[in-house]
């Protein structure tokens, strides 16, 4: 497991002035083979170890690791995390320029390649999950086009299609990429 603070970016409203990203590589994952990268965007007051990770994410994903599913979990800390002065604000105010999110993913891939000893990595099947306010991130990525440039096989809205977030992402780029499965 890696906790990187340089990947998620500087944030003056965060108590540490920077947001983290967690990269979990289960011990059963073989990065030289094709694998899934799950990018999980948390909701308001998220990034709480017992609630976000132990009670939700890990309970769902540890059994997958035990069954030898080949995957990596990436959880970037959003601007509305519990560690900021804005735990219910700044929705979608992350990766706001075209290319920002792609650069973030490339940084994660660099960490994975270093973990893998710079060996060739397998193909990556990206899956995007936005939980609650995390849907605003999917909205933003649809607007910038980075979501479709990444070409994930799945975009899952986990209790997160509030207001016009889903419509905005759909009209941004998703409707022109029928190969991307959208689950609400």
pLDDT of residue 156: 93
Contacts of 163 (CB under 8 A, 6+ apart): none
The Cα 92–Cα 69 span in angstroms is 31
pLDDT of residue 160: 86
Contacts of 147 (CB under 8 A, 6+ apart): 101, 128, 138, 141, 155, 169, 172, 173, 174
DSSP for 131-171, please give it.
Answer: EGGGHHHHHHHHHHSHHHHH--SEEEEES---TTHHHHHHH
Number of residues in the chain: 184
pLDDT of residue 56: 65
pLDDT of residue 106: 96
For 79, the token pair is: 């601007």
Contact 28, 61 (CB under 8 A): no
Per-residue pLDDT of the chain (184 residues; tens, 9 = 90+): 788 876 667 889 988 899 989 898 988 899 999 999 999 999 888 887 666 666 666 666 666 666 778 999 999 999 998 888 888 889 888 999 999 999 999 999 999 999 988 788 999 999 999 999 999 999 999 999 999 999 999 999 988 888 899 999 999 999 999 999 999 8
Contacts of 98 (CB under 8 A, 6+ apart): 144, 145, 146
pTM: 0.90
pLDDT of residue 64: 65
């Amino acid at each position: 497991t890696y906790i990187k603070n340089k990947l998620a970016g500087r944030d003056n409203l965060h108590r540490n002035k920077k947001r983290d990203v967690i990269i979990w590589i289960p011990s059963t994952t073989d990065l030289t083979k094709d694998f899934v990268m799950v990018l999980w965007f948390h909701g308001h007051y998220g990034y709480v170890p017992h609630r976000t990770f132990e009670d939700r994410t890990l309970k769902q994903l540890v059994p997958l690791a035990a069954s030898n599913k080949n995957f990596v979990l990436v959880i970037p800390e959003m601007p509305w995390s519990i560690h900021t002065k804005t735990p219910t604000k700044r929705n979608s105010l992350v990766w706001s320029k075209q290319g920002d999110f792609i650069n973030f993913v490339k940084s994660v891939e660099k960490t994975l390649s270093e973990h893998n000893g710079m060996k060739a990595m397998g193909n990556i099947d990206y899956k995007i999950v936005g939980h609650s306010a995390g849907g605003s991130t999917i909205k933003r990525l649809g607007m910038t086009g980075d979501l479709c440039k990444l070409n994930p096989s799945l975009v899952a809205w986990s209790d997160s299609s509030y207001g016009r977030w889903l419509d905005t992402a759909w009209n941004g780029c998703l409707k022109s990429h029928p190969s991307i499965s959208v689950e609400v």
